[in-house]
Structure 1
Amino acid sequence: MAPGGGVYQDIIESRTAYADYGIAPANGELSSPFRKSATVVGRRLGMASNSSVHELLECPVCITLMYPPIHQCPNGHTLCLNCKAKVQCCPICRQELGNIRCLALERVAESLELPCKYQILGCQEIFSYHNQPRHEQNCRFRPYKCPYAGAECSVTGDIQLLVSHLKDDHKVDMHNGCTFNHRYVKTNPQEVENATWMLTVFNCFGHQFCLHFEAFQLQMAPVYMAFLRFMGDDHDAKKFSYSLEVGGNGRKLTWQGVPRSIRDSHTTVRDSLDGLIIQRSMALFFSGGDRQELKLKLAGRIWEEQA
């Protein structure tokens, strides 16, 4: 039995029937909110609001809401389109599946109004059954993905959780202040293979900012790039600006921009070239010496734009 008592064991046993068919319940970001409380259903049409309607629309295999086309077996057991594609017989009664649509349930779905699945995180919007998924893809209350680059990290959560995660699990350096001066050193700068070098988090104006610095190939040319991401939504990110400066031997390069939200992936920001780009030859010139070692000094500042 798993740690934490018998509840977990009971859940496992109740879903054993589905495991026999090679289909595991989907691991979504959040479970359906309908299992926790009754919600607004068919408000405009005067339909009764109760959880039984929601349960009818939940696929018995993956426990997510079904959207048309909704399929059923000859005995009337329904399942979603994704699960139907994975099995040849009904997971409930083992009858062979045909291509039968459950038109009655599809009509019920069209009459419903549902809350966002991120309701427990603060979203209070109500949507038609068909418009709900589109909203949830861009809901401002949806969890954020871990902004750490250079490794596949599946952790999601609110900003406070991600800050602790970056510090404890990824060992990211945390700094307070809106100005910074970092030094990047590499003994063999000739090796540039999409190498992610550094992520640093700054606590500034009551928010967190991620400073990325890395090396990669840009159209076969090795370059270094530095850019800032804001740990929050794009709307709030646009309230700030930042500048970056790198130089040496009496020369310098500067960049000024607006931090991108961590809603935009690290790769998206990098590939859009939205940051300070330094060609390797210029970086080695800034480093001085025999040009065999990279020694870059990167200075920056973050400020809040006036409304």
Structure 2
Amino acid sequence: MCDGVLESHSSVVDNDMSTNAENKSVPSIRSTIASTRKPLVMSTNGVNELLVCPVCSSLMYPPIHQCPNGHTLCSNCKARVQNRCPTCRHELGNIRCLALEKVAESLNLPCRYNGLGCHDILPYYSKFNHEQHCRFRPYNCPYAGSECSVTGDIPTLVAHLKDDHKVDMHDGCTFNHRYVKSNPQEVENATWMLTVFNCFGRQFCLHFEAFQLGMAPVYMAFLRFLGDEDEAKKFSYSLEVGGNSRKLMWQGNPRSIRDSHRKVRDSEDGLIIQRNLALYFSGGDRQELKLRVTGCIWKEQ
């Protein structure tokens, strides 16, 4: 049961809603192949330098291409260099570097998020897919009012939201937010200041914004969980808005911040209020938005 409702006030903050030398590597490739009877680890030899694309600086995966002088590059970048080797400017053909592909096949490598807690050692060709879903990979900043490129673990993001975005931080599992905006007819795309709740030893982000859903202007409130999806499903929340003897309610699971703010919004996974109904809830002469959204977070048994 939700007790002790916390009241706070938010105002609209923005309208941005809307990511040269001759080849010296060939002899080293041959010598590396001769020594790959056992799995290699990138940190114990220079093989990693051979497998890094000189154009995009990412690890290369088959097909790995090379020029007639033996300089290599990844298949994605081959299409970007206008058929010229980025190292010696020789014209590129369709030569595969099968030797380097074989070297890569023999490697076992640590996950790139080893420093963040992942201790998995992976075959080279499985590493990329693992890292795309690794539970230790950093999270993106959940702030929706601007394009923020900051990433990190949850404590880092909580500190970042508080210090850099100046978001409201509240303790407790219940809330009572009042959203006010004059001239609501002029608001088509707006986001209100994000609020973070500390609840059950975890953090949740409350979003509220205005946007166009098809041709209809709407307001939407939803909750996101600072953590992964499997953890988010352990919690539920409810939202309620009303006025003039009418009430609108929503209940569901918070979405993980692994899902982008826009993805959650576009999926309509939250409390959606049509503008006419929002103005009806606001009362008065319908010239000012005055919505009170209450909510509660609880942990599923």
- TM-score tier, shorter chain, comes to 0.7 to 0.9
Alpha-carbon distance, 1:54 to partner: 2.4
Greater shift in the superposed pair: 74-83 or 142-151: 74-83
1:76 corresponds to: 70
Deviations 1:165-222 (A, max 9, x none): 1112212111111111010111111123222123111111111100000111112111
Amino acid at match of 2:171: N
Alpha-carbon distance, 1:160 to partner: 1.2
Matched, 1:65 2:75: no
Q: Which among 157, 160, 164 is matched to residue 155 of structure 2?
A: 160
TM-score (norm 2): 0.83
Distance 1:235 1:262 in 2: 12
Matched, 1:231 2:236: no
Counterparts in 2 of 1:47 and 1:168: CA distance versus 1, 3 Å:
closer
Distance 2:131 2:40 in 1: 24
Distance 1:82 1:219 in 2: 37
Counterparts in 2 of 1:264 and 1:74: CA distance versus 1, 3 Å:
same
Matched, 1:282 2:277: yes
Alpha-carbon distance, 1:48 to partner: 4.7
SS at match of 1:54: helix
- Does the CA contact (< 8 Å) of 1:192 and 1:217 recur in 2? no
Superposed counterparts of 1:232-271, under 5 Å: 232-271=227-266
Q: Which among 177, 200, 210 is matched to residue 195 of structure 2?
A: 200
Greater shift in the superposed pair: 272-281 or 90-99: 90-99
Distance 1:85 1:104 in 2: 21
Deviations 1:44-95 (A, max 9, x none): x633543222222122343321111111121212122233333343333333
Structure 1: runs of 5+ lacking an equivalent: 1-16, 19-40
Q: Which among 48, 59, 62 is matched to residue 54 of structure 1?
A: 48
Distance 1:187 1:62 in 2: 48
SS at match of 1:94: coil
Which one has a larger percent strand, Structure 1 or Structure 2?
2
Distance 1:280 1:225 in 2: 10
1:32 corresponds to: none
Distance 2:118 2:253 in 1: 27
Deviations 1:213-267 (A, max 9, x none): 0111112111111000001111111111111111111221111110000000111
Amino acid at match of 2:69: N
Counterparts in 2 of 1:259 and 1:47: CA distance versus 1, 3 Å:
closer
What RMSD, in angstroms, separates the aligned Cα atoms of the two structures? 2.0
Matched, 1:295 2:287: no
1:5 corresponds to: none
SS at match of 1:300: strand
Distance 2:189 2:177 in 1: 21
- Does the CA contact (< 8 Å) of 1:198 and 1:214 recur in 2? no
Distance 1:191 1:112 in 2: 59
Counterparts in 2 of 1:47 and 1:189: CA distance versus 1, 3 Å:
closer
- Does the CA contact (< 8 Å) of 2:53 and 2:72 recur in 1? yes
Distance 1:61 1:294 in 2: 52
Deviations 1:95-120 (A, max 9, x none): 33222110111122223222221111
- Does the CA contact (< 8 Å) of 1:149 and 1:196 recur in 2? yes
1:36 corresponds to: none
Counterparts in 2 of 1:130 and 1:103: CA distance versus 1, 3 Å:
same
TM-score (norm 1): 0.81
How many residues get paired?
266
Identity within the alignment, %: 76
Distance 2:244 2:45 in 1: 70
Counterparts in 2 of 1:107 and 1:295: CA distance versus 1, 3 Å:
same
- Does the CA contact (< 8 Å) of 2:38 and 2:106 recur in 1? no
Distance 2:89 2:246 in 1: 74
Amino acid at match of 2:38: G
Superposed counterparts of 1:176-195, under 5 Å: 176-195=171-190
Greater length-normalized contact order (CA 8 Å, ≥ 6 residues apart): 2
